[in-house]
């Protein structure tokens, strides 16, 4: 594990690579990475932090767009983060007579039982 190899691993992890992908990029085996981590346990935390790099960049990009007034990004964000209020798709839930939601499968089962009882 040369400094160049560690640098390549860090670059790959910062670009969202998995352990296997990063090892391929750095030209080492997975076992070499794990042996290095055994000897340098602080690298595990660094690796995990680097793997979050693209997520942070994406979140910053979305936040910047929303702050700049991009209504499409704002809508997209709310549809994913506030699903109960803003999701456009049906999450396979049915509202019962008391206003509570139940998975659609339960409602279908009740409907089938009721139909059999009425036969």
What is the chain's pLDDT, residue by residue, as a tens digit (119 residues)? 999 999 999 999 999 999 999 999 999 999 999 999 999 999 999 999 999 999 899 889 989 998 999 888 888 888 887 877 777 665 555 566 666 665 555 555 555 566 666 65
Q: How many residues does the chain have?
A: 119
The DSSP secondary-structure symbol of 54 reads H
Q: Do 27 and 67 have their domain in common?
A: no
The pTM of this model reads: 0.63
Residue pair 14/52 in contact by the 8 Å Cβ criterion: no
Pair (70, 45) in one structural domain:
no
User: What is the number of domains present in the chain?
Assistant: 3
Q: Are 63 and 55 in contact (CB under 8 A)?
A: no
My answer on whether 82 and 99 are in the same domain is no
**CA–CA distance, 45 with 100 (Å, rounded to integer):** 43
Range of the domain at 20: 3-51
Q: How far is CA 12 from the centre of its chain?
A: 19
Let me know: does 23 contact 6? Beta carbons within 8 Å: no
């Amino acid at each position: 594990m040369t400094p160049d190899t560690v640098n390549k691993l860090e670059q790959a992890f910062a670009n969202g690579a998995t352990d296997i992908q990063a090892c391929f990029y750095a030209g080492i085996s997975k076992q070499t990475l794990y042996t290095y981590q055994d000897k340098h346990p602080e690298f595990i935390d660094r690796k995990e932090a680097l793997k979050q790099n693209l997520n942070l960049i994406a979140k910053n990009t979305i936040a910047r767009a929303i702050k700049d007034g991009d209504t499409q990004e704002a809508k997209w964000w709310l549809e994913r983060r506030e699903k109960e209020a803003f999701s456009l798709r049906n999450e396979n839930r049915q509202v019962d007579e008391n206003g509570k939601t139940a998975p659609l499968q339960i409602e279908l089962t009740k409907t089938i039982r009721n139909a059999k009882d009425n036969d």
